[in-house]
Structure 1
Amino acid sequence: MTQAPIRVGIGGWTFEPWRGSFFPEKWPVKRELEYASRQVTAIEVNGTYYSGFKPATFAGWAKTAPDGFVFTLKASRYCTNRKVLAEGGESVQRFVSQGIVELGEKLGPILWQFMATKKFEPDDFAAFLALLPAKHEGVALRHAVHVRHASFADPAFVALCRAAGVAIVYADSRDHPAIADVSGDFVYARLEDAVEDEPTGYAPAALDRWADAARCWAGGGQPTGLPYVADAPAESPRETFVFFINGAKVRAPHGAIALLDRLR
Structure 2
Amino acid sequence: MAIRIGISGWRYARWRGVFYPEDLPRRRELEYASRMLPTIEINGSFYSLQSPRSWASWREQTPAGFVFAVKGPRYITHILRLRGTGPALANFLASGVLLLGRKLGPMLWQLPPTLKYDRALLEDFLDSLPRDSHQALALARRREIRRMKGRTALPELPRFRLRHALEIRHDSFVDPDFIALLRKQRIALVVADSAGRYPMLEDLTANFTYLRLHGDQELYVSGYSKQALAGWAKRIRRWADGEAPSSARLASDVASRHLKRRDVYVYFDNDAKVHAPSDAQDLSKMLARDRHARRKR
TM-score (normalised: structure 1): 0.92
- Change in Cα spacing, 1:77 to 1:108, as seen in structure 2 (3 Å) is same
Contact 2:81 2:115 in 1 (8 A): no
Is 2:178 the partner of 1:157?
Answer: yes
Say which SS state the counterpart of residue 151 (structure 1) adopts. Answer: helix
CA distance in 1, matches of 2:22, 2:236: 32
Q: Indicate whether 1:65 and 2:62 are aligned.
A: yes
Mapped partners of 1:63, 1:140: distance in 2: 21
Change (3 A) 1:111 1:249: farther
SS in 2 for 1:66: coil
5+ long unaligned stretches in structure 1? none
Q: 1:201 to 1:154 in 2, by over 3 A?
A: same
Which 10-residue stretch deviates more, 157-166 or 226-235? 226-235
Kindly state the Cα deviation for residue 195 of structure 1 after the two structures are TM-superposed.
Answer: 5.7
Query: Which residue of structure 2 aligns with residue 48 of structure 1?
Result: 45
Q: How many Å separate the matches in 2 of 1:195 and 1:28?
A: 33
SS of 1:87's partner is coil
What does residue 207 of structure 1 align with? 229
- 1:259 aligned partner: 283
Q: Secondary structure at the match of 2:278?
A: helix
Corresponding letter in the other structure for 2:111 = F
**SS of alignment partner, residue 92 of structure 1:** helix
Shift, 1:85, TM fit:
2.0
- Does 1:224 pair with 2:221? no
Counterparts of 1:145 and 1:60, CA distance in 2: 27
Superposition pairs of residues 140-219 of structure 1, within 5 angstroms: 140-173=161-194, 174-194=196-216, 201-219=223-241
Partner of 2:270: 246
Separation in structure 1 between the aligned mates of residue 197 and residue 271 of structure 2, nearest angstrom? 10
Residue of structure 1 equivalent to 2:10: 13
Shift of 1:54: 2.3
Task: Please state whether the residue corresponding to 2:281 is helix, strand or coil.
Answer: helix
Partners of 1:79 and 1:92 within 8 A in 2:
yes
Q: Percent of counterpart pairs with the same letter?
A: 42
Q: 2:273 and 2:206 mapped to 1: Cα distance?
A: 28
- Greater shift in the superposed pair: 89-98 or 109-118: 89-98
Q: Report the CA distance between 1:250 and its aligned residue.
A: 1.3
- For residues 163 and 86 of structure 1, the distance between their equivalents in structure 2, rounded to whole angstroms, comes to 21
Is 2:107 the partner of 1:110? yes
Deviations 1:25-65 (A, max 9, x none): 22111100011111111111110011112223212111111
Output the CA distance in 2 between the equivalents of 1:37 and 1:195.
28
Seen in structure 2, the aligned counterparts of structure 1 residues 214 and 134 have a Cα distance that, compared at 3 Å, is same
User: Are residues 27 and 195 of structure 1, via their aligned partners in 2, closer, same or farther at CA, if it must alter by over 3 Å?
Assistant: farther
8 Å contact 2:193–2:216 — kept in the other structure?
no
Q: Conserved in 2, the CA contact under 8 Å of 1:10 and 1:253?
A: yes
CA contact (8 A) 1:190 1:242 kept: yes
Structure 1 stretch displaced more, 119-128 or 81-90:
81-90
**Secondary structure class of the residue paired with 1:85:** coil
Change (3 A) 1:194 1:179: closer
Residue in 2 aligned with 1:36? 33
CA distance in 2 between counterparts of 1:49 and 1:76 reads: 4
- RMSD between aligned residues: 1.9
Q: What is the distance in 2 between the residues matched to 1:224 and 1:56?
A: 46
Q: Is the 8 A contact 2:223 2:270 kept in 1?
A: no
Q: Secondary structure at the match of 1:52?
A: coil
Q: Which has the larger radius of gyration?
A: 2
Q: What CA distance in whole angstroms lies between the structure 2 residues aligned with 1:76 and 1:260?
A: 29
Matched, 1:129 2:126: yes
How far apart are residue 140 of structure 1 and its match? 2.6
C-alpha distance in 2 between matches for 1:84 and 1:60: 31
Equivalent residue for 1:27, pick from 19, 24, 33:
24
CA change 1:235–1:47 in 2 (3 A) is: same
Matching residue of 1:235: 258
**Shift in Å, 1:222:** 1.3
Q: For structure 2, which runs of at least 5 residues remain unmatched after alignment?
A: 138-158, 289-297
